[in-house]
Amino acid sequence: MAIVCKSQAEIEKMRHSGRILRQVLNMVRELAVAGASTMDLEHAAEEKIKELGARPAFKGYHDYPCVLCTSVNQEIVHGIPSQRRVLKAGDIVSIDCGVVVDGYYADAAITVPVGGATTPELQRLLDVTRESLYRGIEAARLGNSVGDVGAAVQEYVEANGFSIVREFVGHGIGRQLHEEPQVPNFGVRGHGARLEEGMVLAIEPMVNAGRPGARLLSDKWTAVTEDGSYSAHFEHCVAVTRNGPMILTE
Ligand code: MF3
Ligand code: CO
């Protein structure tokens, strides 16, 4: 399977999908308050996606049951919303969502402190993870390679004393949720596929406060840190253009 490059018209369509997705995430993040269950977020997101004329990208994908992934504290990614998972002050929750509009996918994630505030150390984990995404985006330029993106993310995260999760990676995106190439959040500058005009990458660093290891819970979806440390996740879809990286999900 080859990397599918998108025309300018296709990139505009993907930006439209991305903007709709951002509206969903902006609404859901406000619901991440103490006493809310992650299923409350799920229900609101599903409603909003419908209202905006989009279709959820995750629900039904390899039998995944929900429109959101909600990963709390030591959960890294793919946490399944549940009525029993009630958020409390001090928690952090990653909200990951995907939509399809007119055949084109968008995929993005944010991690937010429940009720808007957490401890200084966890706030630093969120800030470093978000900034590492922007370092990766900056590297998504013509002439660079996939390895430059990963190296930019990894160097920033490790310089700040946190760890990159290796078990899950970013990906190409377009008419499918997951396309080539894989986009690891680690790498060697100059290695991997060359970035070409029209490539669209979902860059999604997952950063652990402690050791890098991950394991899967018995639900076969939820990935948690091996050492029980907390983990954060941010994601944007980014087009590689002659004018530099263009974020499609803001
Ligand atoms: N952003 C995640 C990814 O690209 C979310 C996928 S959830 C799934 O892997 F349910 F669709 F698998
Ligand atoms: Co993704």
Report the pocket of ligand 1 as residue ranges, CB < 6 Å. Answer: 58, 61-62, 64, 69, 78, 96, 107, 109, 171, 202, 204, 235
The closest alpha carbon to 199, from 161, 135, 165, 248, belongs to 248
Token pair of 201, please? 């990458």
Looking at ligand 1, which residue's alpha carbon is closest to its atom 11?
Answer: 58
CA 20 – CA 54 distance, rounded (Å): 8
Average pLDDT, the chain: 98
List pLDDT tens digits, range 151-182. 999 999 999 999 999 999 999 999 999 999 99
pLDDT value of position 211: 98
Mean pLDDT in residue range 85-100 = 98
Of 127, 86, 148, nearest to 209 by C-alpha is 127
CA diameter of the chain: 48
Residue bearing the CA closest to ligand 1, atom 7? 58
The ranges assigned to domains in the chain are: 8-247
pTM of this prediction exceeds 0.95: yes
Would you state the pLDDT for residue 26? 98
pLDDT of residue 31: 98
Class of domain 8-247: alpha beta
Report which ligand 1 atom has the smallest distance to the Cα of 57.
11
Q: Residues lining ligand 2 (ion), CB within 5 A?
A: 107, 202, 204
Give the Cα separation of 173 and 160 in Å (integer). Answer: 29
Instruction: Read off the pLDDT of each residue in 216-243 and give the average, rounded to a whole number.
Output: 98
Distance 22 CA to ligand 1 centre (A): 16
pLDDT on residue 1: 75
